Amino acid sequence: MIDNLALPGRLRIAMLSLHSCPLGNLGTKDTGGMSVYIREIAAELAKLGYSIDIFTRQHSPHGKRIINLSPGVRLIHLHAGETHEMVNKLELYPHITDFAKAVDDFRVKENVTYKLIFSHYWLSGATGQILSSNWKVPHAVMLHTLAAVKNQLGIGKAEPELRLQGETRVIQSSDKIIVSTENEKCNIVDLYGARSNKISVIPCGVNTNLFKPLKQVNAENFGAIKDERLILYVGRIEPLKGPGLLLDSLALMDKANDKKGRWRCLIIGGGDSSRTEIARLNKQATDLNINRRIDFPGIIPQEELVNYYNLADVLAVPSYYESFGLVALEALASGCPVVATDVGDLRNIIIPQFSGNVIGSKDKYDLAKALTGWINRKPLNYSERQAVSQSVNTLSWSNVAKKLALVFESMIIEVYEAA
Ligand code: UDP
């Protein structure tokens, strides 16, 4: 057990998150599960005795350069490309070398040594590649989503060759690839030709101090109408996450039980960068004649999301692809059942009929049937919600960090043994 491991005093780890600041607004175009992962895992690794420096690009001209996120965790903004908020991720590609140099300059100035690099998404992976060969330290990478999988699905805009090639290089050059599901491991082996023994599967976690069943939530504070059943969608608003499929299913439900059904759906997430996509969904809802039942409240901070999960009868996860699907875990931890497509690791997490359902297809009829099942049931009471919550209580971020630390320790030891 890692608890009994003599961890060397405050080993330093450089975490790289070039394109997305972990403090960004969750639920907007490029900020979601990856930022949550980085924040939570950095805090937990620091509790285990590591010092964590997270490097991201300077995105605001007046923003603070170094922020102490939690004990032992610093967030460091360094120059890479233009300093503004909205940036197409691919525009950062030519700045990778500059970013790597800026990280190295920072290291020299601070007179510190990093024992391991943990990079996130392929752009950071490419930066990690440069730093790992300069510093002669091991490099673990987490790609979060894969271009090859996205392109195979053919939903939304195709991912460019630049990303495919970049991912392939990172997969080949890194020492370890961390994924959160067996499915993603298979994808990396099958689609990128990676050796399976360099991939570690470590499921994601949930902040159980925040996401938990609440005895009482004042529904009116959240715009709910008495006795109305509530269906939630939470996440970045993009075609791959299937909000359009959800609307098609809701239209079927509307037709089937217009008279008796008092239900509403909140599509949470989005923000300015997703304006076009939200307008498209709004039009779809209008065309389907269900706009009276649908609200788009925009992004909601996690501290408030827990109230929504507690109010909702069911969370819909209609995605075509998820590398994990954190929102499902957050809902379950809050005692809210989840109806999901068979994505991420959800089939191993959701207990059929008890904490939700996983549908085998991406079919609007199947999704409508499963959602209807949950909103026609008596709402779960507090103790039933607690039982749902307990079904995921082993998936804490501290457990994830312990598993990750074991992988990191073995990587660091391998380097010393080889030297
Ligand atoms: N999220 C949020 N507010 C929103 C929408 C999303 O805080 O309005 C958070 C949500 O709590 C979750 C993350 O964004 O932690 C989305 O992660 P997920 O793994 O579901 O999707 P990803 O963004 O990785 O595709």
Same domain, 180 and 251: no
Strands 139-142, 51-57: pairing is unpaired
Domain enclosing residue 229, as ranges: 220-390
Write the CB contacts of 185 (distance below 8 Å, at least 6 apart in sequence).
179, 196, 199, 201
Kindly compute the dihedral angle of the four CA atoms of residues 52, 53, 56, 57, in this order, to the nearest 10 degrees: 180
Same domain, 143 and 269: no
Same domain, 127 and 178: yes
Same domain, 174 and 310: no
Is residue 5 over pLDDT 90?
no
Q: What's the pLDDT score for residue 86?
A: 60
Q: What's the pLDDT score for residue 272?
A: 83
Write the CB contacts of 402 (distance below 8 Å, at least 6 apart in sequence).
1, 2, 3, 48
Q: How confident is the model at residue 121 (pLDDT cuts 50, 70, 90)?
A: very high
Same domain, 365 and 347: yes
Q: Quick check: 329 and 303 in contact, CB under 8 A?
A: no
31 CA closest ligand 1 atom index = 23
For residue 354, being part of any structural domain is answered with yes
Q: What is the mean pLDDT of residues 142-150?
A: 97
Q: What is the mean pLDDT of residues 369-396?
A: 96
265-305 per-position pLDDT tens digit: 999 999 888 999 999 999 999 999 999 999 999 999 999 99
Q: What's the pLDDT score for residue 341?
A: 98
Domains in the chain: how many in total?
A: 2
100-118 per-position pLDDT tens digit: 999 999 999 999 999 999 9
Q: How confident is the model at residue 83 (pLDDT cuts 50, 70, 90)?
A: confident
Q: What average pLDDT does the structure give for the chain? A: 93
Same domain, 199 and 76: yes
Q: Is 22 in the pocket of ligand 1 (CB under 6 A)?
A: no
For residue 213, being part of any structural domain is answered with no
Report, in this order, helix, strand and coil percent for the chain, each rounded to 5.
45, 15, 35
Specify which residues 352 forms β-bridges with: 356
Q: Is 327 in the pocket of ligand 1 (CB under 6 A)?
A: yes
**CATH code where residue 410 lies:** 3.40.50.2000
Is residue 356 over pLDDT 80?
yes
Q: What is the mean pLDDT of residues 142-165?
A: 96
Please state whether 183 falls in left (phi above 0), alpha (psi between -120 and 50) or beta: alpha
User: Percentage of residues in the chain with pLDDT exceeding 70?
Assistant: 94
Q: What's the pLDDT score for residue 3?
A: 40
Q: Quick check: 263 and 273 in contact, CB under 8 A?
A: no
For residue 73, being part of any structural domain is answered with yes
For residue 212, being part of any structural domain is answered with no
Same domain, 13 and 52: yes
**What is the C-alpha separation between 128 and 195, in angstroms, rounded?**
19
For residue 362, being part of any structural domain is answered with yes
For residue 304, being part of any structural domain is answered with yes
For residue 231, being part of any structural domain is answered with yes
Is residue 7 over pLDDT 80?
no
Is residue 389 over pLDDT 90?
yes
161-180 per-position pLDDT tens digit: 999 999 999 999 999 999 99
What spacing in Å lies between the alpha carbon of 25 and ligand 1's midpoint? 10
Q: What are phi and psi of 160, to 5 degrees?
A: -75, 160
What spacing in Å lies between the alpha carbon of 145 and ligand 1's midpoint? 14
What spacing in Å lies between the alpha carbon of 5 and ligand 1's midpoint? 33
Residue 364 Cα distances to 20, 241, 243, 372, angstroms: 33, 14, 11, 12
Q: How confident is the model at residue 84 (pLDDT cuts 50, 70, 90)?
A: confident
Is residue 246 over pLDDT 80?
yes
Same domain, 37 and 175: yes
Q: What is the mean pLDDT of residues 126-145?
A: 97
Q: Which two tokens stand for residue 294?
A: 């649908």
Q: What is the mean pLDDT of residues 189-211?
A: 97
Same domain, 243 and 174: no
Q: What is the mean pLDDT of residues 239-249?
A: 97
Same domain, 401 and 325: no
Same domain, 332 and 379: yes
What spacing in Å lies between the alpha carbon of 325 and ligand 1's midpoint? 8
Is residue 195 over pLDDT 60?
yes
Q: Is 30 in the pocket of ligand 1 (CB under 6 A)?
A: no
Same domain, 247 and 103: no
Q: What's the pLDDT score for residue 310?
A: 96
Q: Is 330 in the pocket of ligand 1 (CB under 6 A)?
A: yes
Q: Is 266 in the pocket of ligand 1 (CB under 6 A)?
A: no
Buried b (16+ CB within 10 A) or exposed e, 171-181: bebbbbbbbbb
What spacing in Å lies between the alpha carbon of 347 and ligand 1's midpoint? 19
37 CA closest ligand 1 atom index = 15
Q: What is the mean pLDDT of residues 327-344?
A: 98
Q: What's the pLDDT score for residue 259?
A: 55
Q: What's the pLDDT score for residue 271?
A: 83
Q: Is 302 in the pocket of ligand 1 (CB under 6 A)?
A: yes
For residue 211, being part of any structural domain is answered with no
**What is the C-alpha separation between 318 and 62, in angstroms, rounded?**
39
Q: Quick check: 169 and 126 in contact, CB under 8 A?
A: yes
